[in-house]
Structure formats: C-alpha cells, structure tokens
Chain A
Amino acid sequence: MELKANAPDGPLEKKWEKHKFDMKLVNPANKRKYKVIVVGSGLAGGAAAASMAELGYQVECFCYQDSPRRAHSIAAQGGINGAKNYHNDGDSVLRLFYDTIKGGDFRAREANVYRLAEVSNNIIDQCVAQGVPFAREYGGLLDNRSFGGALVSRTFYARGQTGQQLLLGAYQALERQIGLGTIKMHTRSEMLEVIIIDGVAKGIVVRDMVTGQVQSYMGDAVVLATGGYGNVMYLATYAKGCNASAIWRAYKKGAAFANPCYTQIHPTCIPVTGDHQSKLTLMSESLRNDGRIWVPKKKEDCKKPVDQIPEEDRDYYLERKYPTYGNLAPRDVSSRAAKQVCDEGRGVGETGLGVYLDFEAATKRLGAHKIEEKYGNLFEMYDRITGEDPYKVPMRIYPATHYTMGGLWVDYNLMSTVPGLFVLGEANFSDHGANRLGASALMQGLADGYFVAPYTVGNYLAGLKPGSCPTADHPEAKAAEAEVSGRVSRLLGINGKETPTYFHRELGKILWEYCGMARNDAGLKKALQLLPELRQRFWEDVKVPGSGADLNQSLELAGRVADFLELGELMCRDALERRESCGGHFREEWQSPEGEAVRDDENFCHVAAWEYTGDNSAPNRHTEELKFENVHLATRSYK
C-alpha cells in the first residue's frame, strides 16, 4: 500500500490555487450523467451534497436519522473559526494555519491545513449569505469570541447553538436541491458496506432501518462524511447513534485507517452520575472565556460547600501552570491537568471526579445580565441535567471523549487509499494532527464539503467515462449485500444472554482505562488482551430480539458495537506503537519532569495508517512522513 499525499508543489500559499487550476473540469452538459453517493448529512456531507448538486451532478445522500437536519453537527455549541481579522487583532490565514499546526502538535500535513485556513473566510461568507444568524455587534457587524489555543478573537458564533445554525444552513441548501430534484435523500438508512469493483469504489450497501431491506446503491464516486468514532468509548459527548460502521467497513475493504489513537478528551463536560449514564454532555469551551477553573488546595476541603473555601485555599491550576493561556489552554493540556488534580485526590463532587468552573469573578466584572446573555442557554442546560443552578454554585466539570482526530487516511484531494472513495469531515484524519483546536471541526467539515470536495471529486469524475457506472445487479454488489444480510442473520441467531449495551459499556471501560487520557505500555498490552476476549464473548453471548425485516434498534446497536469492538483494538495497537506523547495521545513514558508531553520528532514525525489484512492477522502499519517546510518544529508551549 502506498500513501501518496498528492499535495501540489510550489509555495504554500499558492498550492491550492495552482491545484484548482491543474484539476480537470467536467463538461457542464455531462455533469448530470455522473452519480455521486454521499453518506452523511452533517456539515461535511450536507455541504458536499448540496454543492455538488448545485454544480449539476446527480446526488444520492444517506443518513441514519429521520431527517438530514439532525446530524450530530447540530450539537456543536461554541463556534467556528475564520481568519477574517475583523477585530484587527493580528489574525491572518497564516496565523490560523500556524495555530492549527501547533495545536495539532505538529502531526498534520502542512498543505491541507493551509488550505483549510485559506477557505475559512469563504465559509463565513457562505453561511452569512444562507441566513445563518451569527451574533452581531450593535453596529450590525459580525461578533467574535476567543477559543482555546489562540490569542486572537476569530470564532464566529450563534449563541451556544453554532453547529445547529450552520447545519440548518447546509440542510436548507440540501433541501432546496431535494426540492429541485437533483438530490435523492434517504433517511433512516444505514450504510453497512462499500462496493468495490476492480479496486474502485462504485457504490454502497444500505439497510433501510424501517423495513429492514438491504439494497445496493451505485455511483461514480462515493463520499463518506459519517462523522467521528468517539462513541467507541461508550460514554462520550456524541449523539447516541454516531458510529464507526461506515468507515470501518471501508477499512475492511482496503481504505487505510490513520492515527486511530488520536482521540480528543474535552475538558469541560458534565461529570458522570452513575451506571445508568448513557452519554455525557459537553459544556462549551467558550465558557472558559469567562469561567475560572479551580479545585481546593487541600484534599479535606473537597466536600465542603464552595462558600466555605476561602480564595487563598483555591488552586486555579490552569492559571498557575499556564500563565499566558490560563483557562484557555488547549483541550488536551486542560484535560490532563484536570485528571492530575483529581488523581491527587483534590477532585470535587460525589465521585471526586470533577473540578469547578466558576463564574463569580466574571459576574462581578460584567454583571449577571451579560453572563446570561452570553451563556444563558448553557447555564440552563446545566441546571436541567444536574438540578443545580450555576448562577449560584460553580459548575462541576470533568473531561470526556469528544472528538476523534484519527479517521480514514486521505490524500490532498480527500480521497482514501481506495480510488473513488472520498472521506470528509470528522471521518477523515486530515487537518487536526494529534489534537484539534476548538471551533475548527465545524470549519473543517464545511471546508471539505463546500470548498474542497466539489473540486476534487469533479476532478476524479472528469477521468471517468460519463454513464459508465455499473448497475446494482453487478456480482460485487450482490456479494456485498450478501455480506450485510449474513451479518444481520448472525447477530439475530446468537440468542445469548447479554444486551448489546452491556458489551458497549464494557468496551468503553477498557478503552477509557487503558487508552484514554493517559496511556502506557503495560496498560495497552493489557487492553489488547482484554478486547479480543470481550469480542469473543460478544459473538457468543449477545442477545438481539426481534427480526431483521423490521425496525429493530437492538440490531442496529449490536452491529455498531461489533464494529467498535474491532476498532477499539486498532486504537490500542496504534497507541502502543506510537512511542511518544503528542496532542491527545499521552504516553506516560514520554513526559517531561513537569508532566508535559514529550514528542519524538526523530522517530514519529509521521502519520501512521493501518491496512487491514484479515480478521485473524495483524494489520500492517504504513507511514506518511510529515515534512515541515514552512513552520519550525517547536515544543508546544502554552505557558
């Protein structure tokens, strides 16, 4: 397997322009003769489907929810970055590029990241034109806020519902095309297999989640925009239905999986309350603009009411350790710092796994009214979930799995190692290296969907004969359908004793323990021994009631858990092989005396991409060297 990044040569700031010029164009009269399959209707998929339909291609789009408007992107709260420099505070495309490379701990591809920063401004313009109600200043111009890992104010937002508003913008563009008949939308449809003909992606197999019907859909190109795989951890800030099945099936059909161990643990989530916990809720990072994070200095103060802990007995540990960035230190750094103080026994709340996020100082400075205007909906959400009023007592927060930087390997064109199979948004590995900065995922999803894929997929299609797409009775399509039906019957036939959720929860415990915020050799080896055992138990003892020819939520879940069980193993394998600490991947063996991550640029300045070789053989690890021609590889410091 060869990992050819295909980044154009020439100066960084000219690469994308040059590439756009070099790419082939499809004759407008022929565009409607090409069919593009888009799996996913989140920011990446929704934007790509709408934009490609606007260009004239025939598009079929799929999502598992009952409406494309409900994709998980809807839940993003805080904002989206753009290098507009509307605040005259020194921002530029170059600075956004640099911050993203540095934020990713120098483990991303320069050319991709520069392009992302470059199109960030077009995204803001596009969304404004669609009617996204971004926050405004009194003069009517766009407002910005700051986010972790940056010293400029470049984050555009729509209250605490930025993802919702951006997604509705993309959704409305998508629905407009559906109304015009250029997109056929399939809701409540789960993609469970890729169809590969002569080494090239030509379609997908989908299970209709209402009727259970398994069917092939063929296309000249297949675009996966199916989101991240963080639900592998069971407890995460993801929507319950988020899954890895689409990318996992593609991996098993030859698409390399890059950096699976790079997961992001977000520092500000509502802590776990008990075994019944089904998901974790994020409290937007934007809260760190005004909230101060602290724990008591003394263990014995941890159970005391907050008003009995005097100021001098509080440890504002982020401000203490990272005076420059303070409470806005990047996510990986902040999460580890929270874990550290809790491990020292200074955590708060029932379980001791929590730290305070306190708005007292900000309320005094700005007034309660301003705090309500800025964060009202987040405070309300916190109150609903915990039954506590954050205007009166500080919030309690703890880190939780939130984002996956890893994903299917793609080249500069966002094409995977399988020709014709493109991967967009969180599902690919491309732009965030080992750690993603806040407000950059929305940016990447929309960059991929609106401004990159429409060009690069077009370039790919231009090399195909119009109307040459095979039909669904092709033997490879039938074989892929048989695989899906076979898996469905197998799951229904086990008739064991435990629920799919039980196995999912067990998987999550193993991964959180051994492949979570801190990892080490012994723990990862232990996980690699536990996971195959759990997987075996799953296939012997899972119980899936009901039938396959019906709406069957246990069956859907069991299928996803089966894939997560395999993916979990690959994550641990990748974490074990990456003998360095970088970004979200913290190996305890590689840390400085102060407990900061220590990278090994000599041996690990590369992307690791895994090739599937069979269920009973170890996958192959391939590498793509990362060359930094424009930035200087530095130790990431936020002090």
Chain B
Amino acid sequence: MSEKHINLTLYVWRQKNAQDEGGFVTYEAKHVSTEMSFLEMLDVVNEGLIRKGEEPIAMDHDCREGICGQCGVVINGRPHGPRERTTTCQLHMRSFEDGDTITIEPFRATAFPVIKDLIVDRGAFDRIIAAGGFISAPTGSAPDGNAIPVKKTCADLAMDAAACIGCGACVAACPNASAMLFVSAKISQLALLPQGQPERYSRVKDMVAQMDDEEFGTCTNHGECEAACPKAVSLENIARMNRDFIWSSLTYRPESGGSGGA
C-alpha cells in the first residue's frame, strides 16, 4: 500500500488516578504515516510528551497483534474504533483521513474502574472465570487425547467461542454494561465439548452469580456487544447460555464437596 502522511487532532481522556475526575486534553498529531498502527501513532505523541517532560498518555497494550486482549480504548465512540473485527492495536492509520479529529477514551463501565488515563481494571473478568470458567482436570489425570472424540462441528463452534480475548469491548459497547457476551463465550465453549458436560450446569450457575456480584448490567438484547467484538463472538452464545442457565435453575441440586472454585 502506498504510504501517505496525515495531520490529526486528538481529544484524549486524561485522568491521574481512580480518584481524579479526569477530562479531555487536545493534542495535535502531525505528519502521521498511514502505515502506522493506531498505537504507534500514540507512541509518537507520547515520545513528544516525554521529551517535553510531560507524562505520556497511559494506555494498556502488550502483544500488538490482536490476541492478548490487553489493549482497548473507545475511539470516536466505538470500542476498538471504526474497523470491524479489529482490536485497537490492529487498527491502522489508513482508516483515517487527513484533518480528522479523533476522540480517545477508556472503556467505561462501573465494573471496569479507571486506573489512569486510558487504563481500566478488568479484574472482574478473572473473578468470573475463577468462579467456574474451567473444567476440573488436575494435572496428570487425563485419559489419552483420542479417547474423547469430539464432533468436528462441535469443536469448531467451541473454537469460535473460545476465540474471545477477554478485552471487555462488549461491556464497553453495551448500553447496560453487561458482560453477557464474554461470559457466554466461555460457557458455550465448555458446554459444547464432551469434557465440559459434568460441570455444565454448576458452571453456568456459578459464573452468572459472580457476574451479578461484579456490578455488570443486565442484557436487554441490544446486540452492540457482538458488533464491537473484535473476535466476532456471536450472540448465539448468549442464547446457549440462557438455555443452560434456565435448565440449571430448574434442575440444580447442591452437591456435597463440589468440584468448583470460589
């Protein structure tokens, strides 16, 4: 692709820490190469700030290839920005035009408090997994891999759900800040596999209970989550989870000495 250079105005959310009120600050980003990634554009702005002795814009990122789920900001009102199925780190500046203004904010949700600038605390996701998002298979206890055949279509659907990177864009996109897409992705993956059957109904019950404790909102079927999801995790997973949840409420019997987590 041929390289171009563009000039941009950025409105960036700056917030010193969780207690600070925070607000937008304007920066000019000049001569930005369209070959740069969005984060590389911010790197250049940040290097300029450091040279002036100012604190750079704090932002989360790590792999910069769309798989770790650590990055994620709201760009012009959209979590991860304008390009479909693309994380913030994979977004490139060729998606923007010369003279654009770009608003950059953190993911906003009560369950994701801001730590600093664009960085939020998504620890709630880990706590939901700890509550039941696993198959209890202690090391050493496994039978031969091929002793558990898995129908290809089930394996493929499980993989579709398992592609979730835990970024939290679904929560940020939802008007209710619901975490249903994230939670249902893990529930679906494990419910689709034969290995996941023994804990299937305790898992959904425990994960949903933890989700409710974490101050995520309820799902009212807006579908914004699916649209924002960089990994195309489908709303079907929510339907699957709801079915399992209802079944678990109808049939649940507490077991003595269960295998679950917290």
Write the residues of chain A forming the contact surface with B, with a CB cutoff of 8 angstroms: 47, 50-51, 54, 65-70, 72, 74-75, 82, 84, 86, 122, 124-131, 133-142, 158-159, 161, 164-165, 168, 171-173, 175-181, 185, 187, 210, 239-241, 273-274, 276-279, 281-282, 380-381, 384-388, 450-451, 454, 495, 497-502, 543-546, 550-554
Contact = CB atoms under 8 A, between A and B. Distances in A.
Given A67-B122, A128-B195, A543 B50 contact: yes
A75 B158 contact: no
Contact of A543 (B53, B90, B189): B53
Contacts of B189: 131, 133
A88 to B, nearest CB: 12
Max chain A C-beta neighbours (<10 A), residue from B1, B50, B85: B50
A428 to B, nearest CB: 20
Contact of B146 (A65, A142, A241, A553): A142
B56 A553 contact: yes
A282 B63 CA distance: 11
Interface stretch (B6-14, B66-74, B216-224, B249-257): B66-74
Interface stretch (B98-106, B127-135, B171-179, B240-248): B127-135
A175 B155 contact: no
Interface in B152-198: 152, 155-156, 158-159, 162-163, 165-166, 189-190, 193, 195-196
A161 B163 CA distance: 8
Contact of B63 (A75, A136, A274, A501): A75
B143 A125 contact: yes
A173 B149 contact: no
Contacts of B61: 240
A175 B133 contact: yes
A70 B152 contact: no
B116 to A, nearest CB: 5
A128 B146 CA distance: 9
B121 A66 contact: yes
A276 B33 contact: yes
Contacts of B190: 131
Contact of A66 (B40, B50, B92, B123): B123
B239 interface: no
B110 interface: no
A183 B115 CA distance: 24
A159 to B, nearest CB: 6
Can you list the 6 inter-chain pairs with the closest CB atoms, starting with the nearest? Answer: A179-B261, A140-B149, A172-B134, A179-B262, A387-B1, A129-B142
B145 A66 contact: no
A545 B54 contact: yes
Contacts of A82: 145
Contacts of A47: 139
Contacts of B129: 69, 171-172, 175
Contacts of B137: 126, 129-131, 173
Given A140-B152, A381-B90, A384-B92, A240 B62 contact: yes
B139 A142 contact: no
B134 A128 contact: no
Contacts of B49: 545
B90 A65 contact: no
A128 B56 contact: no
B197 to A, nearest CB: 10
Contacts of A129: 135, 137, 141-143, 148, 195
B25 interface: no
A283 to B, nearest CB: 10
B209 interface: no
Nearest to A180: B261
Contact of B139 (A70, A128, A454): A454
15 contacts: A68-B126, A74-B67, A75-B67, A126-B140, A131-B134, A135-B155, A161-B159, A172-B135, A179-B130, A187-B123, A210-B116, A384-B90, A450-B140, A501-B43, A554-B55
Contacts, number: 253
A489 to B, nearest CB: 17
B31 to A, nearest CB: 10
A240 B64 CA distance: 7
Contact of B130 (A86, A178, A380, A502): A178
Contacts of A552: 55
The B interface is mostly helix, strand or loop, or mixed, namely loop
A278 B39 contact: yes
Contact of B56 (A74, A388, A545): A545
B159 A273 contact: no
Interface in B37-51: 37, 39-41, 43-44, 47, 49-51
B155 A50 contact: no
Nearest to A156: B145
B136 interface: yes
A138 B152 contact: yes
B138 to A, nearest CB: 5
A400 to B, nearest CB: 12
Given A179-B131, A273-B35, 9 more contacts: A75-B67, A84-B146, A129-B137, A129-B141, A176-B261, A178-B262, A181-B262, A241-B62, A384-B83
Given A129-B137, A133-B193, A278 B67 contact: no
B65 interface: yes
B62 A72 contact: yes
Contacts of A497: 51
B108 interface: no
A187 B152 CA distance: 36
B125 interface: yes
Contacts of B260: 179
B159 to A, nearest CB: 4
A493 B115 CA distance: 25
A33 to B, nearest CB: 21
Given A70-B69, A161-B163, A131 B44 contact: no
Contacts of B21: none
B79 to A, nearest CB: 16
Interface in B199-247: none
Contacts of B126: 67-69, 175, 178, 185, 187
A124 B62 contact: no
B75 interface: no
B92 A385 contact: yes
Given A139-B149, A142-B145, A241-B62, A450 B51 contact: no
A130 B61 CA distance: 28
A448 to B, nearest CB: 12
A131 B135 contact: yes
Contact of A276 (B40, B70, B131): B40
B51 A128 contact: no
B133 A172 contact: yes
Contacts of A74: 63, 67-69
Contacts of A133: 150, 155, 158-159, 162, 189, 193
B75 to A, nearest CB: 15
A451 to B, nearest CB: 7
B45 to A, nearest CB: 11
A499 B47 contact: yes
A435 B195 CA distance: 36
Contact of B58 (A50, A122, A553): A553
A131 B193 contact: yes
B157 to A, nearest CB: 9
B203 to A, nearest CB: 11
Contact of B119 (A67, A140, A450, A551): A551
B262 A180 contact: yes
A136 B155 contact: yes
Contacts of A380: 85
Nearest to A69: B166
Contacts of B145: 82, 84, 124-125, 127-128, 134, 142
